[in-house]
Copies of this chain bind each other. A is one copy, B any other.
Amino acid sequence: MADRNRFVTLNRHVAGGPVEETVFSLAEGTRPAPGDGEVLLRPLALSVDPYLRGQMTGIDTFYLPQFALGQPITSLGVGRVVESRHPGFAAGDLVQGVMQWADYSLWSGSDTLKGVGALGPVDPAIDKLSHALGVYGLNGMTALFGMVGVARPEPGDTVLVSGAAGGIGAVAGQIAHILGARVIGLAGSQAKCDTLVRDLGFDAALNYRSATLADDLRQAMPRGPDIYFDNVGGAVSQAVMAMMRRHTRVVECGQISTYDDENGGWTVDIRPIHANGLIWESFTTAHFAEFYPGGLAQLIHWVRAGKIKILETEHRGLEAAPRAMVGLLRGENIGKMVVTLE
């Protein structure tokens, strides 16, 4: 059928416990027809990010809207305009923004991800489309602004990055390295740790699943980190914060290890922060939305200069999107998790 349109949907919300592939369905509808001001596009690459887990709980918070059951999942993506009834876009345009996990995605002019989801052109300097979602997208911007704008390491500082082999962590660690810091990564396997040190220039990397994590941390940095750039939260961060010195800083970027907790996670046991007198600063990329053009140019420069290496885990086809999401939450990706479509 020419007007058939497959889409990935959530068939139940999950709060507490892991997301399995069975909570997703590949449903089928008809290809939408754009109304006035709307754009129909064909997604070419979809960004699979931890924050999506927070839209799957069914728990309303002020933070993110919940996915409606039976409706298409949405995420950031790159696509090509099929039909436009919006003056800013024409058929054939390459665009990025929030889109549906579907063969055809209807963009109705709404920006479902505050400040960072508006539809716009893909910069022609980006040679691989999926990179617009990774190092040049939300992940790269978060790493850049989080490290340069929030963490602000001085040369010689020890920066510890958790989730260091993830889409944000891998870029954040390399930027800390560019800034002259000593960079130590935490990742979930020896293979990931090897990649961080061998390919990305991390000074050291530790497997957080090690039974001797506390000792490993102390050996790698006897005085603890000066800055802990945290993507994971939970038990790993508790172990790190217990060894941090007064006035050293946690820069909190995400808490993926908690998102399967009841109530959707994001709770922190602050006793080590209190007892050790730590400073905690959180941020989201939306706080830096005004600075994306400069951020993009900077990231392109560093990639071309060989100072940032790109890691990506690619799944192919719309039907692989649930697998990609579950794999992300299990830490199966190395670098940016992305789904590419024909």
The answer for the CA separation of A282 and B267 in the assembled complex, in Å, is 16
Binds B, one of A75-83, A152-160, A273-281: A273-281
Chain B CB within 10 Å, residue with most, of A246, A271, A278, A284: A271
Known contacts: A267-B269, A269-B266, A280-B280. The answer to whether A275 contacts B62 by CB under 8 A is yes
Question: Is the CB of A255 closer than 8 A to any CB of chain B?
Answer: yes
Q: Which of A243-290 contact B (CB under 8 A)?
A: 246, 252, 255, 266-284, 287
User: By the criterion CB–CB under 8 Å, are A284 and B277 in contact?
Assistant: yes
A242 at the interface (CB under 8 A from B): yes
Decide if B279 touches A279 in the complex (CB within 8 Å). Answer: yes
Give the docked Cα–Cα distance between A278 and B281 (Å).
Answer: 6
Q: Which residues of B contact A268 (CB under 8 A)?
A: 267-268, 270
Cα distance, A323 to B255, chains bound together (Å): 41
Say whether A61 faces chain B, with CB atoms less than 8 Å apart. Answer: yes
Q: When the two chains form their complex, are residues A287 and B242 in contact, meaning their CB atoms are under 8 A apart?
A: no
Known contacts A62-B275, A63-B275, A279-B279; A270/B284 CB under 8 A: no
Say what secondary structure dominates the interface of chain A: mixed
Contact A271 B266 (CB under 8 A): yes
Collect the chain B residues with CB atoms within 8 Å of residue A274's CB: 63, 252, 266, 282-284
Q: Which of A281-322 contact B (CB under 8 A)?
A: 281-284, 287
CB neighbours of A280 from chain B (8 A): 273, 279-282
How far apart sit A272 and B272, CA to CA, in the bound complex (Å)? Answer: 20
Closest B residue to A254 by CB, please name it: B274
Chain B residues, Cβ within 8 Å of A287:
246, 277
**Contacting A270 at CB < 8 Å: which of B242, B266, B271?**
B266
A273 to chain B, nearest CB (A): 5
> Judging by beta carbons under 8 Å apart, are A277 and B283 in contact?
yes
Q: Are B282 and A273 interface neighbours, CB within 8 A? A: yes
Is there contact, CB below 8 Å, between B282 and A278? Answer: yes
Residues from chain B with Cβ under 8 Å of A281 in the complex = 277-280
A251 CB to nearest chain B CB (Å): 10
Smallest distance from the beta carbon of A237 to chain B beta carbons, Å?
A: 11
Name the distance in Å between A76's Cβ and chain B's nearest Cβ. Answer: 18
How distant is A276 from chain B, measured CB to nearest CB, in Å?
A: 8
Contacts of A278 in B (CB 8 A): 281-282
Report the minimum CB–CB distance from A15 to chain B (whole Å): 14
A238 to chain B, nearest CB (A): 10
10 closest A-B pairs (Cβ-Cβ)? A280-B280, A274-B282, A273-B282, A267-B267, A277-B283, A279-B281, A277-B287, A266-B271, A63-B271, A63-B275
User: What are 6 residue pairs bridging A and B, where the CB atoms are less than 8 Å apart in the complex?
Assistant: A252-B270, A252-B274, A268-B268, A277-B283, A277-B284, A277-B287
A62-B272, A266-B269, A267-B268 are known contacts; what are 5 more A-B pairs with Cβ within 8 Å? A246-B287, A266-B270, A266-B271, A266-B274, A278-B282
